[in-house]
Chain A
Amino acid sequence: MTAPVTSEAEQLRNTIARQFGRSLHIRTLDTGSCAVCEQEIRLLAAPHYDLHRLGFFFTPAPRHADLLLVTGPMIRAFAVAARKTYDAMPGPKVVVATGACALGGVYPQDPFTHGAVDAVLPVDVWIPGCPPSPLALLHGLGVAVGRLAEKVRAVPFTPDDDSERTVVSG
């Protein structure tokens, strides 16, 4: 009797994936950024990029969100609020650190900022860029939900026409 139960569970899982798996709600969280990342995130909803065609939506409440899009260097005054936002989200949840600030590039760790988002929240996907363009953000969101493959792992950042290149794997 195990097999039919498994197949029914499979069927149910496929139905759920078909009905809900293509839709994802995003909550953005500004932890002290200069707002240029927010400009680019806002452009995602514009007709040229049209985030909604891919089944992504912005939501104003963390209770409704599946994905937390975090920008900024995580100022210490905001760390508690960031933690509360994360705790308020229902699981399974994904945290995406967006921009060079969130990845530790612009601000050092000092009495005012944590310097990077992963000092406070468990980050799943990192999107570099200052700011990351809407195209890079779309790719990052695709990576976050497992629809697109990450490409940067295979890029050595030495030009292709370099005949004498010897690359140490990083």
Chain B
Amino acid sequence: MPLWFIRGLRRGVVTTRYPARTEESARFLPTPPAFRPHVLTSQTADLLVAICPSGALRRGGDAGDGDVLRYDVGRCTACGRCAAAAPHAVTSSGVWELAATDRSVLIKKIPIGGES
């Protein structure tokens, strides 16, 4: 009989807490983009909206938001085309724990603050 089986029986516990350890592999994951509002110009935002293949980026928010880039994290496939097209304004966010209990919290409004 394998030793791990006897060890498991002796401990009596087969579950662990989460996270059991720091997840080292998480830094290799492709993560959704993050945007720098003060260098994001109106033209750049239009370009990003045009090249986004999954429609995650749209222009315009609700009334009173001003000039914003509407970013739907749920639709984003983390393909990296926006980061490749505008590396000065778009970086990788590094966030991978993205689960949400409300669809609307996944829709972020990025203010467009760059001088055009």
Residues of A at the B interface (CB closer than 8 Å) are 22, 52-55, 100, 103-106, 118, 123-130, 132-133, 135-136, 138-140, 142-144, 147-148, 150-153, 155-159, 162-170
Contact = CB atoms under 8 A, between A and B. Distances in A.
Given A100-B76, A125-B100, A136-B98, A150 B105 contact: yes
Given A103-B75, A126-B103, A147-B18, 16 more contacts: A100-B77, A104-B75, A105-B55, A106-B54, A123-B103, A128-B32, A128-B99, A135-B96, A136-B97, A139-B98, A152-B73, A152-B100, A157-B108, A158-B35, A159-B34, A170-B109
A151 B105 CA distance: 10
B77 A105 contact: yes
B78 A156 contact: no
A142 B99 CA distance: 9
Interface residues of B, number: 52
B106 A128 contact: yes
A128 B109 contact: no
Contact of A105 (B16, B29, B54, B109): B54
A126 B99 contact: yes
Contact of A53 (B15, B97, B98, B99): B15
A118 B38 contact: no
B45 to A, nearest CB: 14
B34 to A, nearest CB: 5
Interface of B: 14-16, 18, 20, 23, 25-26, 29, 32-38, 54-56, 61, 65-66, 68, 71-79, 91, 93, 95-111, 113
14 contacts: A100-B54, A100-B74, A103-B103, A105-B54, A105-B55, A126-B103, A127-B99, A128-B32, A128-B98, A128-B100, A135-B29, A157-B33, A157-B35, A157-B93
Contacts of A127: 98-99
Contacts of A53: 14-16, 20
Contact of B78 (A123, A129, A142): A129
B100 A158 contact: no
